[in-house]
Amino acid sequence: MNFKKVVHLFIVIAVLSSCVSNKKILYMQELDSISAVYSSKRYSYNEEKYRLQNFDIVEINIKTSSEELNAIFSIITGNQENMGMNMGQSGGDIFFMNGYTLDEEGKVDIPLLGEVALVGLTTEDAKALIEQKVQPFVADSDFFVRVRLGGIRFSALGEFNAPGKQTILQNRVTIFEALAAAGDLTTIAKRDEIILLRQYPDGSQIHKINLNDRELLGSEYYFLKPNDVIYAEPLKVRELGAGTNFIQNLALITSTVSTIALILTVVRK
């Protein structure tokens, strides 16, 4: 009878300690407050404009009313256009093939204009600078300049269902869109302490983010920046080797109880 009581007590403790609480995995909880309203308050965006860094890839298009100038400014030949189409169809990165990459000094080499330093500038600032560089060559001709990033590139590490390097071809990406692109977090990911490694023109900095808190919507970390690294640590249940659902918990408990029973049987003999 004492043995049965010990086994039952062990099962109860194992079930209670191995299950993952919903409070650990639910997104956008309203922490430390209780509200009966259906809609949340509106969170204003606190987005900081991205400034170009070394080795960023940007798309620079310059069009004028002069076909001769257009031919000079265009860096895409017929072969490159075909290559870009093939890359796009096969899931490659067309921006890497046809865009401008800022070198180690933060400069790009544009036909006719020469080297132009873009590091530390926003895409709007870069557009204005290139327009100034183009102006002397076009005289009174009409011209158009477009500068944009080649999508948002980031890395997802740790407890993701599809970790790895990701590229989203948008100018603006939220952190939840990034999670979706990486297959979402696993059940045992520590959602209240997501590590965001962000690069700045003068270095890198680590930020900790709580995905359970809806106040994140109004923070400067709601939108991802190019070259961000998102790292999700596992919960303590991973260290304990516990299951993440009922079936896994049941299998773990059954195996543990069987092992204990076998050991006790051997010891009694």
Residue 223 sits in a domain whose CATH number is 3.10.560.10
Percent pLDDT > 70 in the chain is 70
Please identify which residue in the block is written with the tokens 């926003």: 122
The per-residue pLDDT for range 184-216, each reduced to its tens digit, is 999 889 999 999 999 887 889 999 999 999 899
| Residue 174 in tokens | 């939220």
Report if residue 145 sits inside a domain. yes
The domain in which residue 166 lies consists of 152-234
Residue 72 sits in a domain whose CATH number is 3.30.1950.10
| Residue 169 in tokens | 């071809």
For residues 43 and 219, what is the distance between their CA atoms, to the nearest angstrom?
9
Residue 242 reports pLDDT greater than 70: no
Using DSSP's 3-state secondary structure scheme, residue 238 falls into: helix
The predicted pLDDT at position 79 comes to: 39
Q: What's the pTM value of the predicted model, to 2 decimals? A: 0.66
Task: Please identify, among 124, 149, 174, the residue that sits at the C-terminal boundary of a domain.
Answer: 149
Please report which helix (H) or strand (E) contains residue 229, including its range: strand 228-232
Report if residue 46 sits inside a domain. no
